[in-house]
Structure 1
Amino acid sequence: MKNILPENEKALWILKTRGPQPLTVIAEALQVTVEGARFQLLKLASDGLVEASNVSKGRGRPQQIWSLTAKGHSRFPDSHAELTVRLLNTIRDTLGTDALDTVIENSKKAGLEKYLKAVSQEHTLEDRINKLVEARDAEGYMASWEKDGDDYMLIENHCPICVAAQVCQGFCSAELESFRQIIGEEAEVKREDHLLSGARRCAYRISPKREQ
């Protein structure tokens, strides 16, 4: 996903992708002075997009940590949220939960087909993960991956269907199952962080299976 924010709101992107951060880290990421970063953050705070809190770490003065507010999170796109929720509720209320389950299953199949096509030419686990991440990032999930020992972490800093997932968490279950099918039998996929459970992001641990 491309950074669509104007220059004076780049701090929002940093806090979205990295989580709450101290002023010095934000200034370094913005490549500006600490005072320059403070000015930008204070302006964003006056607009209700960010907030600061004091965090004590042992002895010494508390450290000021900046984070996004709910309004700040809403600056990132949630694909046709209101319309999607209205349609899901209409399906559930008029056709029943079985019909809604069918919709979710068909959505899962369409997504799975797309992802399998994206990874079809890749022969290593790492290459398949990379292609999956590219596809998810293009859909607005702010996706990336990193190594963690022998494991891989697939990280999604944003959920463009978050409002729909709050209405029906079957979308989240279908997502996890799709990842497991795409990765295949050579690795185990577990969700470690879940945005709907209060985490700031969704994160999946992909653990290669050891030969017996």
Structure 2
Amino acid sequence: MTQANGTRQDQILNLLLAAANGLSIDELAAAMQISRNAVKQHLVGLEKAQLVAEAALNSTGGRPARSYKLTEQGHNRLPKQYGWFCQLLLAELKTELGETALRQMLARMGVNLAQSLAPQFSGKTPQAKRQALVELMQTLGYRAELETDDGQPSLKAVNCVYHDLAQQIPELCEFDRALISTLLGSAIEQTACMAQQDCACRFKICAER
């Protein structure tokens, strides 16, 4: 996608955001001051990316016109402030609960999530569990891989999926530690942390409990 296309397509997304019932090609062309054919070309790309979809026919006094609206994926493409809100929420919880209680709460959350994922790990050998964990973390964006640290298996992640949050609220790492330990059924030792300016997060895996 060229920069120009990206700009025009972003314009279309923003126009459709403000039109709950959708807009026709003619309405989009008039608002953007470009040709109908240009709008059609941009809509083809947006439909292919599943960011817009055809809506109901609109009657404008003449021939009914097909309108377009944002899909759920299209709504999610537009800027959000999840990280900012999560930081406010966690900071407030830390103030209300204190550091120890916040760590305990995040650990419980990690354990609860691990228990919901337990069927994916049940009956596997320790090595197979480690590989399943890497695959799970890859789907979550951690860029994880297995390595060896002083003869012990170790997990390395080069992308902290909530890096900015963890820098502000370091207790958040307790969630990862509880999740990993519970899924593997092993004690772990975190030996490096990106939120503490290390180049990766590393977790040394101890013997299975």
Give TM-score, length-normalised by structure 2: 0.50
Q: Distance in 2 between matches of 1:80 and 1:156?
A: 22
> Is 1:163 aligned to 2:147, yes or no?
no
Aligned residues: 127
Q: Which structure is larger by alpha-carbon Rg, 1 or 2? A: 2
Q: Deviations over 1:128-187 (max 9, x none)?
A: 0011111111111111113457422211011111222223222213422332333235xx
Contact 1:118/1:135 (8 A) holds in 2: no
Seen in structure 2, the aligned counterparts of structure 1 residues 206 and 105 have a Cα distance that, compared at 3 Å, is closer
Seen in structure 2, the aligned counterparts of structure 1 residues 143 and 115 have a Cα distance that, compared at 3 Å, is farther
Q: Which amino acid aligns with 1:198?
A: Q
Aligned to 2:200: 201
TM alignment of 1:113-152, pairs within 5 A: 113-122=115-124, 124-147=125-148, 150-152=151-153
Q: Which amino acid aligns with 2:115?
A: E
Unaligned runs of 5+ in 2: 1-80
SS at match of 1:180: helix
TM alignment of 1:1-212, pairs within 5 A: 80-93=82-95, 95-97=96-98, 100-101=102-103, 103-122=105-124, 124-147=125-148, 150-184=151-185, 188-208=187-207
Contact 1:141/1:158 (8 A) holds in 2: yes
Q: Which amino acid aligns with 1:205?
A: K
Unaligned runs of 5+ in 1: 1-78
Q: Deviations over 1:82-137 (max 9, x none)?
A: 121022123344x4437745642442233222443321141x11100011111111
Q: What percent of counterpart residues are identical?
A: 17
Q: Which amino acid aligns with 1:178?
A: L
Q: Distance in 2 between matches of 1:203 and 1:101?
A: 19
Q: Deviations over 1:44-69 (max 9, x none)?
A: xxxxxxxxxxxxxxxxxxxxxxxxxx
Q: CA deviation at 1:199?
A: 0.7
Seen in structure 2, the aligned counterparts of structure 1 residues 80 and 150 have a Cα distance that, compared at 3 Å, is same
Q: Which amino acid aligns with 2:170?
A: Q
SS at match of 1:199: coil
Q: Distance in 1 between matches of 2:104 and 2:153?
A: 32
Seen in structure 2, the aligned counterparts of structure 1 residues 100 and 190 have a Cα distance that, compared at 3 Å, is closer
Q: Distance in 2 between matches of 1:96 and 1:206?
A: 30
Contact 1:146/1:153 (8 A) holds in 2: yes
Q: CA deviation at 1:191?
A: 1.7
Q: Which amino acid aligns with 1:153?
A: S
Q: Which amino acid aligns with 2:189?
A: K
Q: Distance in 2 between matches of 1:91 and 1:189?
A: 26
Q: Distance in 1 between matches of 2:114 and 2:105?
A: 14
Give TM-score, length-normalised by structure 1: 0.50
